[in-house]
Amino acid sequence: MKLWNKHTLFTLAVLSLARIAQAESIQCPQFPSLTMKQHALTDASLFVGPPKEQVELMPDTDKDTAWTLADYQDEARQHKTSLYVVCRYKNTLQTVELVVPATAQKCSASYDQHNNLIARCQ
């Protein structure tokens, strides 16, 4: 009975960690830093591997800025790298690079009700 309880606790812990991993997501900050609030987010791009290697991915369609990640995540794993999002800002060359979680299934960039660009992967 004692082994069964340890096994049950281990299983519950693994399932809890799996849920946490599924919930991982990232989002471009609205500004490149707290002191640069005059530079709003204007664009985001997705890359396989570090952006300096310049393997930029095109969105799924010309209509929407969205990427379905399953095949890209597989490619990144095969090349022992990750997917990256590069966040770009108005009137500055400063960017923010974010590593896309391996559990993310989709990235997108769209405008909210206040006309602010929201770029995220989940």
The model carries a pTM of 0.78
Burial 87-99 (b: 16+ CB within 10 A, else e): bbbeeeeebbebe
In three-state secondary structure terms, 56 is strand
Could you tell me which of 56, 67, 71 has the C-alpha nearest to residue 107?
A: 67
- Residue 48 sits at the vertex; the CA angle it makes with 91 and 27, to the nearest 5 degrees, is 50
Condensed to tens digits (0 to 9), the pLDDT of residues 23-77 reads 589 999 999 999 999 999 999 999 999 999 999 999 999 888 999 999 999 999 9
Residues 16-32: tens digit of each pLDDT: 444 444 558 999 999 99
